[in-house]
């Protein structure tokens, strides 16, 4: 049985729908009947049916019961396509109801602010609670340095375009790196240099050479659970990168998008080691909370704040007041802490399954990097392009993402790789996905 009993029920119902045991438009067992059949509490069945309704597999008819949706989405699911491409948080752990309650509460608590502009840097109430919240991550900052943005993507866009005090323009990025950051750089024709990222980190001698020979505006990096590779730096490496950045007057943009999934209490963010105010800390709440929330935060050094807020004000005046108010309430309660604990366990267990299956089945076929947690794993291959492999895998029933868009064009250290995302998988589909990888990569007999 899976981690949560209701999830087991959800998967069982889906399987019956996909196998046509429950046909489109047909009635499925009542809550009480299924609870008795499966020897489970009725509350568990209710939760499972609510989840299936949310995902549009079934619908309720008053005083009648639950019926299978007639949907093209379900017909597509019957093709048995395993989705290791989508990066939205798993539906099983999305806190819809809890956050809906917070949004209702925000309407009553902040009703007079909902119909007026908030300060461009964000609601003071949310900034205040974030200052306290960041202490849990060994980040001790001031309220004046915290800025609320419309997702981390907006913060990255502003930082890429705005002028910095030292007048430098070139951005250094890890290779591969977050594809959205590459899009921001390419669209705006910003000078860029790459440095290869491996499971063991980066070449620090190469980093110093790049810093010394180029006018680097900032080094954009994801120290933990990097997208697309899942790689993480050690604290020792972070401190050395920080030392070199200080020596050559380079800012660092730390994208800590998966801080909530960290399972090593000693693995601190790079900003926690920064005593010279050269780290710009960016994170969002999309990957571990709700993607549609579109709220992020940035901790900005004093000398960059005026330029940052001017550009943000020109973009959107302020981020959603309603969403900010709801997030403040959610953080202030114990709901966020409970959600993070459940989310961390959810992904850690699935990543453990993926790691064991890859080690067992793919050891001689590919180079697999599966971190202890996070949402991304990375596979490098030889003798086939990542683009071709992606197409072949999809034809065999597995959707993945090839990492080509995460590279600078013609980067010398380019590797043929694919990213696996576990957000939309359960244990069974992970096992099946690795079998598809094995069949696709195995040489023809």
For every one of its 445 residues, what pLDDT tens digit does the chain have, with 9 covering 90 and above? Answer: 444 678 888 888 888 887 778 888 889 999 999 989 888 888 889 988 988 887 778 888 877 889 888 765 555 555 568 999 998 887 778 887 888 888 888 888 877 776 666 788 999 999 999 999 999 999 999 999 999 998 899 999 999 999 999 999 999 999 999 999 999 999 999 999 999 999 999 999 999 999 999 999 999 999 999 999 999 999 999 999 999 999 999 999 999 999 999 999 899 999 999 999 999 999 988 777 777 778 899 999 999 999 999 999 888 877 778 888 889 999 988 888 888 888 999 999 999 999 999 999 999 999 999 999 999 999 999 889 999 999 999 999 999 999 999 999 999 989 999 999 999 898 889 999 999 999 999 886 3
Helix (H) or strand (E) holding 73: helix 72-77
Residue 85 belongs to a domain: no
Question: Residue 31, class by beta-carbon neighbours within 10 Å (0-12 exposed, 13-18 middle, 19+ buried)?
Answer: middle
CATH number, domain at 423? 3.90.1150.10
Same domain, 274 and 346: no
Residue 83 belongs to a domain: no
Within 8 A by CB and 6+ apart from 363, the residues are none
pTM score, two decimals? 0.80
Domain's final residue, options 334, 356, 386: 334
Same domain, 192 and 302: yes
Residue 258 belongs to a domain: yes
Number of Cα atoms under 13 Å in the Cβ half of residue 15 = 9
Same domain, 299 and 416: no
CATH number, domain at 250? 3.40.640.10
Query: Rounded distance, CA 293 to CA 80, Å?
Result: 30
Residue 86 belongs to a domain: no
Residue 22 belongs to a domain: yes
Residue 90 belongs to a domain: no
- Can you give the pLDDT at residue 356? 96
Residue 41 structural domain: 5-75
Residue 199 belongs to a domain: yes
Same domain, 182 and 327: yes
């Amino acid at each position: 049985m899976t981690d949560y009993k209701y999830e087991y029920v959800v998967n069982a119902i889906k399987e019956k729908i996909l196998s046509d045991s429950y046909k489109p438009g047909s009635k499925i067992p009542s809550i009480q009947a299924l609870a008795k059949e499966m020897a489970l509490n009725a509350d568990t069945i209710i939760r499972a049916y609510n989840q299936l309704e949310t995902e549009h597999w079934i619908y309720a008819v008053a005083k009648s019961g639950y019926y299978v949706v007639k949907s093209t989405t379900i017909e597509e699911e019957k093709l048995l396509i395993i989705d290791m491409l989508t990066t939205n948080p798993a539906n099983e752990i999305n806190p819809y109801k809890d956050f809906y309650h917070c949004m209702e509460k925000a309407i009553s608590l902040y009703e007079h602010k909902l119909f007026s502009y908030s300060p461009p840097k964000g609601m003071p109430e949310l900034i205040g609670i974030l200052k306290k919240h960041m202490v849990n991550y060994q980040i001790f900052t001031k309220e004046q340095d915290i800025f609320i943005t419309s997702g981390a993507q907006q913060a990255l866009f502003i930082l890429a375009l705005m002028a910095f005090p030292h007048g430098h323009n070139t951005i250094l990025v890890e290779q591969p790196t977050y594809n959205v950051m590459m899009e921001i750089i390419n669209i705006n024709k910003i000078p860029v240099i790459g440095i290869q990222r491996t499971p063991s980190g980066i070449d620090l001698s190469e980093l110093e050479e790049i810093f010394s020979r180029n006018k680097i505006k900032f080094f954009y990096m994801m120290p933990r659970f990097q997208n697309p590779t899942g790689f993480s730096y050690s604290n020792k490496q972070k401190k050395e990168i920080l030392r070199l950045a200080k020596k050559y007057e380079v800012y660092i943009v730390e994208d800590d998008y998966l801080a909530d999934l960290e399972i090593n209490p000693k693995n601190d963010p790079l900003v926690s080691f920064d005593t010279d105010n050269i780290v710009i800390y960016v994170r969002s709440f999309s990957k571990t909370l709700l993607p549609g929330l579109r709220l992020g935060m940035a901790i900005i050094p004093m000398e960059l704040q005026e330029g940052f807020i001017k550009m943000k004000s020109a973009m959107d005046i302020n981020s959603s007041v309603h969403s900010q108010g709801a997030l403040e309430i959610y953080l202030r309660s114990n709901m966020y802490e409970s959600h993070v604990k459940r989310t961390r366990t959810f992904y850690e267990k699935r990543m453990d399954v993926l790691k064991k299956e890859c080690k067992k089945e793919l050891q001689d076929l590919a180079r697999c990097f599966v971190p202890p947690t996070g949402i991304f794993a990375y596979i490098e291959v030889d003798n086939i392009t990542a683009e071709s492999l992606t197409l072949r895998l999809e034809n065999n029933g597995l959707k993945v993402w090839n990492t080509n868009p995460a590279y600078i064009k013609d980067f010398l250290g380019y590797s043929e790789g694919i990213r696996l995302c576990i957000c939309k998988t359960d244990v069974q589909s992970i096992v099946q996905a690795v079998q598809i990888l094995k069949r696709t990569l195995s040489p023809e007999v």
